Amino acid sequence: MIKSKDNFLQVSDGAWIYFEDYGKDKGDPILILHGYLCSSKFFYKNIEALSADHRLVLMDWRGHGSSSKCLHNLTMDRCAKDVHELIEHLGLEDVTLLGWSMGSSVVMEYYEQFGDEHLKKIGVIDSALYPFSPEPWNSHSLAGFNMDAMTATLENAFSNHDGYVRAFTRLCFHTPPCQEDEDWVSTEMKKLPVYIAFALYNDFLFKDYTVTLPKIDIPLLLCCADSPAIPRGIEMGRYYRDLVNGNCYFHEFLNLGHVMFLEDPEQFNETILDFVENYTRA
């Protein structure tokens, strides 16, 4: 039996998923998924604008933030099921489901499993949809099935967890973050235990969701930026755009990093709302 209490939903495999629900009496819902190591707190600068006229749902997927630090079902497949169960628990329809970074892989997996069930629109925000791909378009640091680099990253995370997350934090910004931002972001990232993080990350690396993009037949948002976290991210975004023959709402966040919603929340919020309210599939 699925149970809930306060801001937590116990999903069908027993894990507790934390969520936040804003603007319950507002228009069509927006559900945004965070990325690897992150949490719903990363969107704190976007809540007011996005929930002014729309219901806004944020969640911490399993292992992250305030959700269960479970040792089972650490896969994109299961994370997508968690999203589906949360949507059904809240009774949401006509959802715009957006994924940022690794959250986009969860969004793509949702579409693979459930199609457009409960969805009106879908979005991919600055994401590597096949991190291990050996193809030239892929700028991920582990491209080409680079298991040596993966092993070195894992060893570094275990031996120096604080240093690992602080280095990753700095990679996410276009310009170095202030000390206050580095501190709270890295503290939030450390809520995800290393052994859980890399179980999820390993599953993420091997999944090719570029093949999902051409299947999508509802309005699609594609956003990209260039940052140390995803070098040549704009080039990668343009590759995704070509896969759908330009049939998408495409936006480049110029001179912003992977966390563009923190660096320029006004541009991010305007982009999301324009897509949600005005874009229709050609």
Task: Quote the percentage of the chain above a pLDDT of 90.
Answer: 91
SS3 155: helix
pTM recorded for the entire structure: 0.96
Which residues on neighbouring strands pair with residue 223, listed in sequence order? 125, 251
The per-residue pLDDT for range 182-234, each reduced to its tens digit, is: 999 999 999 999 999 999 999 999 999 999 999 999 999 999 999 888 989 99
pLDDT value for 6: 82
Cα distance between residue 261 and residue 163, in whole Å: 24
Q: At which residue do the structure tokens 């704190």 appear?
A: 44
The per-residue pLDDT for range 24-34, each reduced to its tens digit, is: 999 999 999 99
Q: At which residue do the structure tokens 């275990």 appear?
A: 158
Interacting residues of 184 by C-beta distance below 8 A, sequence separation 6+: none
- Spell out the CATH class of 3-278: alpha beta
Cα distance between residue 280 and residue 278, in whole Å: 7
C-alpha distances out from residue 66 to 49, 131, 198, 256, Å: 24, 27, 18, 28
The two tokens of residue 159 are 């031996």
Burial bucket for residue 151 (CB in 10 Å: 0-12, 13-18, 19+) = exposed
10 Å Cβ neighbour count for 114? 15
Cα distance between residue 152 and residue 140, in whole Å: 15
With bands split at pLDDT 50, 70 and 90, how would you rate the model's confidence at 282?
confident
The mean pLDDT value for 10-20 works out to: 96
Residue 168 clears pLDDT 80, i.e. is over it:
yes
Side chain identity at residue 30, one-letter code: I
Cα distance between residue 218 and residue 247, in whole Å: 10
Q: At which residue do the structure tokens 């969701």 appear?
A: 209
